Amino acid sequence: MTNFKFSLLACSIAFALNASTVYAAQPTNQPTNQPTNQPTNQPTNQPTNQPTNQPTNQPTNQPTNQPTNQPTNQPTNQPTNQPTNQNSNVSEQLEQINVSGSSENINIKEKKVGETQISAKKLAKQQASDSRDLVRYETGITVVETGRTGASGYAVRGVDENRVGIMVDGLRQAETLSSQGFKELFEGYGNFNNTRNSIEIENVKTATITKGADSLKSGSGALGGSVIFETKDARDYLIDKDYYLSYKRGYQTMNNQNLKTLTLAGRSKKFDILIIDTKRDGHEIENYDYKIYPNKQADLSKVGPTREKADPYQITRQSTLIKLGFQPNENHRLSVALDDSTLETKGMDLSYALRAHSQSDSEKYGERIINDQSKRKNIQFSYENFSQTPFWDHIKLSYSSQKITNKARSDEYCHQSTCNNVSNPQRLHLVEEDGVYKIKDKYNQDFQYEKDDSGWYPSYELRNSKKEKISDGVKTEGNPLDSVLINCEKLNCDKKFRIYQEYDEKGDGTYKYDDRDIITETLPNGKKYGKIPLKSTKNRYGLTQYETARFLFPKSFGYSPDSVNDRDLNTNTQQIKLDLDKEFSLWHTQHSLKYGGFYEKTLKSMVNHQYNTAANVQWWADYFFCARGEGGNLGVEKKPHPNVSVAGCAAGTQLHSDKGKETYLIPVTTKNNVLYFGDNVQLTSWLGLDLNYRYDHVKYLPSYDEKIPVPNGLITGLFKKFGLKDYVYGNPNSKPNGYDDCTYNTQCYKQNFEENLALLLRKTDYKHHSYNLGLNLDPTDWLRVQLKYANGFRAPTSDEIYMTFKHPQFSIQPNTDLKAETSKTKEVAFTFYKNSSYITLNAFQNDYRNFIDLVEVGERPIEDGSEIKYPFHQNQNRDRARVRGIEIASRLEIGDLFEKLQGFHLGYKFTYQKGRIKDNGLHPKYKEFLELNKTDHPEYEAIARKPQPMNALQPTTSVYNIGYDAPSQKWGMDVYITNVAAKKAKDTFNSQWTSMVKRKEKIYGNEKEMDASKANGKEVKDSRGLWRNNRYTVIDTIAYWKPIKNLTFTAGVYNLTNKKYLTWDSARSIRHLGTINRVDTATGKGLNRFYAPGRNYRMSVQFEF
């Protein structure tokens, strides 16, 4: 009933459209697909006997009396490669809906079913800053939330991430490692930046969102839809002049982001250039009740999954887009483009679950520091020809080289001055005075030894200049001169150094400081170091007797040990592409033909680099290092060890140790050969066809890089087992008689590795025929009916095919026999339109097949005769799914009904969808669970067998819009009301439910009763999701003002009513397992961290000339 109420506005718009319809008397059989991007002196295939009795009061494409909220030289959606055809027919102009001021420009005759185009104007007006804002006022599409790494692609029609295509300037963007095994092992622990890279919004000319199968445009991956970006071009700005300059500053309060964008476009004779340089600098998005903690100390002390405030990150994005064009004449054009961007996130994972220390000592032992990066660099060369031939009107040949690196780096160390390892309570510091280096106390004075005669024997205590005892913070024993060397690269070893002597070489107590010369030596690498030898003499027995003299350093190490995990996911793509288009008449039909193909090669690899280093380094660890005997032995010559600190001298603890580079995924090269063909056929004035076909041949070529190896233990025994008499694990010295030594690094072990590796490196390939068939009916000049039937596919990712992992508790074996996932879309749309108003009603059905899932394939040993069995899992094609739904998109220009209300407009969008995943029989992962619990809990079988809800389906969503653009073109405003229904429990799924309900489990072969886990205070009893959103309504208000031609102010208030709400995509991102994106499941503490921002503001100012 509520959804019906939300649809009343759409129905009223439809009624208003029909009530105001005026049937035109002129013929409507004009071709509508005439090109607009051809030179004016070229044929237009326009019949010469076109009627000319068009009414003179019909609207044109751009009413001159309507405002524009953006400068007229902003990029538009019109083709820019040639001047527009001045002789385009009148009927085409009448069909063009050009909403001046609102930046909407919709041609009903060109709009595809399930497709939405968002222009640069609209993005600027809405102050969009990222992929979330791109779809903020769209329904049926949302972004995938991943926590600290931000958004990861889009969710459309029940599928997300790799199942929704993303392209930028014709190039597919990086895919995530989508294997469920990878997600189980690594993704939940924050060790990889496993996200899909995004694009700088300021570079976008148009973003085309397609809902439904779309492999025709995006190829592999577009099962549920696609988002295709086209970047700006100099010609978008140089429409009526030869230069353009713009500087834009913006700020938004939800993350304190500052925006700076400089745009420069120019043309000189045959050359044109565009430069867009953008920098964004901000921090994490502030959740509701962001200021919950009273001060910084309280903030930093609230750690772990129960933390209620977003983790602190500094987030910057630097983007540069450069395009250079050379056009010697109207028929030829050469261009080169550089698109370079870096997104960097630095901060602390305070909500990290796996903590070595408690909250109370976090400032002593440190935090998990992260430094993530997402880099994308694309260089593109292209040649275009506009000469009309029998085979093309326009041809484009392009070559692109794109490199994408998603880096996740974590450092676990203490970075504050309060850390135990850098503690310096006496504030000792090193100074240089009169050519002498001196270690002084916190009062900048020398230390003094004070004699104490109170005991049986006199003793000496080191005190500072205020007579305060300092032995609790200063190492008054140890650090002898012969164990401490000076780094002459950082200190001047031509100077002297003040040391402290307790006993001279004769054994007499002196308790004084002494200024000594530094003797300079050279390390094998050529670097200089200094030493101060101990004074010595021969005693009466002829033995060498040394003085007791030392450096006085703080007791702490002087640095924080830093455990570094640096992991890269690399996607390098090279593509050569040929596109052709041709428009022609054949008998009484009009054709718009597009065809071509491309060859693409992509190398996907993983690099995992683990090492230990020193961080938060203090002067006593930076300027000095250790001299020690080989192996730490006493009585032998002490040698310099630059990689060992003075404090770690006894144990030989290294400052820097590198475990080397390795990978958990073998590098895989993907080669894709593509041919495509599309023809938009206008058979009659009321009947048109869209006929589109594409052929993909995807080849996977795995390889092995010995410089970045896979850990041998992940591959040995995987396919070919070790022999019955092979001794693999244990000490080689304990090998039983009659067994062969196959321990690590033996030839036997290496041979097994090579044999299994050869079996793993099998080539695979996938072929797919994609099509998109459309029928367009125009029975009247106010109604358009469209039908669409399309398919899509997703070839398995390289990790789904080749990933391997081996552990006695969880093992993964590859599967080179996987099938491609497929989808089919059936959709019908009815569009009622008049002048600048329209309403479109869509009904759709998406069917998915061969969903790839991780399934258990049984236990087996990796050694013949071994009692140790490994539980293996494998990616297999299992599921099928169906999604059905309806959508409404409408816009009413009130000025079409009432002339006095010119400039006012209403808009409404609505999406309702339902879907389920259906398995062919019982999923194998439930077999053991149901067998153990069939007596006590027979209800679990019904839960396991029922169709599984699709978490990627958005709740029912409506977006209302009311706006006004002043006739003066100087100001305007829009109000957006977004209403999202609550996600129903029955439409959610908890993949971990079998480990959370009350149950029996088999642990090491023994059955054990397990109590039910609690979620938010309630026991988990079934497979419903643990966290869901409630219904919420959010109101945004955005306004613009142009006081002069070259200046535009834009400002907005978002979440005007300060509503506290949780989006469904944030709720479903909360994990039950792992160490990131966690809350305290039992109590729900920490959930506030996932709430959307409260009331927040954005503003921007743009100067342009």
Q: Name the least confident of 5-9, 116-120, 472-476, 796-800.
A: 5-9
Alpha helices in 581-662 (DSSP H): 619-622
Q: Name the least confident of 101-115, 279-293, 403-417, 713-727.
A: 101-115
pLDDT, residue 676, reads 98
Does 155 score more than 70 pLDDT? yes
3-class state of residue 38 by DSSP: coil
Does 37 score more than 60 pLDDT? no
- The average pLDDT across 933-941 equals 94
- Which of 188, 193, 189 lies closest to 174 in space, CA to CA? 193
What does the angle CA 696 – CA 697 – CA 699 come to, to the nearest 5 degrees?
Answer: 140
Positions of E strands within 33-94: none
pLDDT interval class at 58 (50, 70, 90): very low
Integer Cα distance of 442 and 554 in angstroms = 12
Chain position carrying tokens 């007229």:
72
pLDDT interval class at 93 (50, 70, 90): very low
pLDDT interval class at 195 (50, 70, 90): confident
pLDDT, residue 16, reads 44
Amino acid at 743: T
Q: Which two tokens stand for residue 387?
A: 């000469």
pLDDT, residue 999, reads 95
Q: How far is CA 664 from CA 462, 608, 708, 806, in A?
A: 55, 8, 10, 11
pLDDT interval class at 925 (50, 70, 90): confident
Other Cβ atoms within 10 Å of 722 Cβ, number: 22
Say if residues 185 and 580 touch (Cβ distance below 8 Å). no
pLDDT, residue 365, reads 58
pTM of the model: 0.86
Q: How far is CA 533 from CA 454, 516, 553, 771, in A?
A: 35, 9, 18, 83
Say if residues 314 and 346 touch (Cβ distance below 8 Å). yes
Does 1022 score more than 90 pLDDT? yes
Sheet of strand 159-160: strand arrangement: 141-145, 151-156, 159-160
pLDDT, residue 105, reads 56
pLDDT, residue 83, reads 40
pLDDT, residue 151, reads 86
3-class state of residue 472 by DSSP: coil
- The average pLDDT across 72-78 equals 43
Does 53 score more than 60 pLDDT? no
Does 938 score more than 60 pLDDT? yes
Other Cβ atoms within 10 Å of 1058 Cβ, number: 10
* pLDDT digits 0-9 by tens, 952-965: 999 999 999 999 99
DSSP one-letter code for 297: H
- How would you label 727-755 residue by residue, b for 16+ Cβ within 10 Å and e otherwise? bbeeeeeeeeeeeeebbeebebbeebbee
Say if residues 551 and 513 touch (Cβ distance below 8 Å). no
Say if residues 1023 and 1072 touch (Cβ distance below 8 Å). no
CA torsion sign, 73 to 78 to 83 to 84? negative
Integer Cα distance of 871 and 861 in angstroms = 9
- The average pLDDT across 429-457 equals 88
- The average pLDDT across 398-420 equals 91
pLDDT above 90 coverage of the chain, percent: 68
Share the mean pLDDT of the chain.
87
pLDDT, residue 732, reads 87
Q: Name the least confident of 181-185, 492-496, 922-926.
A: 181-185
Higher pLDDT, 44 or 1102: 1102
Does 731 score more than 70 pLDDT? yes
* pLDDT digits 0-9 by tens, 473-501: 899 888 999 999 999 999 999 999 999 99
Does 1036 score more than 90 pLDDT? yes
pLDDT above 70 coverage of the chain, percent: 89
pLDDT, residue 865, reads 66
- Which of 711, 701, 645 lies closest to 672 in space, CA to CA? 701
3-state DSSP of 741-760: ECCCCCHHHHHHHHHHHHHH
DSSP one-letter code for 720: S
Integer Cα distance of 1004 and 808 in angstroms = 11
Say if residues 909 and 889 touch (Cβ distance below 8 Å). yes
pLDDT, residue 630, reads 86
- The average pLDDT across 213-226 equals 94
**Could you tell me which residues come within 8 angstroms of residue 1053 by beta carbon, excluding any fewer than 6 positions away?**
1036, 1037, 1095, 1096, 1097
Does 1067 score more than 70 pLDDT? yes
pLDDT interval class at 86 (50, 70, 90): very low
pLDDT, residue 922, reads 82
pLDDT interval class at 99 (50, 70, 90): very low
- The average pLDDT across 137-141 equals 97
Integer Cα distance of 456 and 374 in angstroms = 69
* pLDDT digits 0-9 by tens, 880-916: 999 999 999 999 999 988 889 999 999 999 999 999 9
List, in sequence order, every residue forming a beta bridge with 629; answer none if it has no partner.
Answer: 638
Does 90 score more than 70 pLDDT? no
pLDDT interval class at 356 (50, 70, 90): low
- The average pLDDT across 928-937 equals 93
Amino acid at 223: L
Integer Cα distance of 579 and 397 in angstroms = 7
3-state DSSP of 829-872: EEEEEECCEEEEEEEEEEEEEEEEEEEEEEEECCECCCCCCEEE
pLDDT interval class at 594 (50, 70, 90): very high
3-class state of residue 416 by DSSP: coil
pLDDT, residue 462, reads 84
CA torsion sign, 510 to 514 to 517 to 520? positive
Integer Cα distance of 155 and 915 in angstroms = 14
CA-atom Rg of the chain in angstroms: 35
Integer Cα distance of 583 and 392 in angstroms = 8
Q: Which two tokens stand for residue 5?
A: 């109420």
Integer Cα distance of 1088 and 1026 in angstroms = 15
- The average pLDDT across 196-218 equals 94
Does 25 score more than 70 pLDDT? no
pLDDT, residue 1092, reads 97
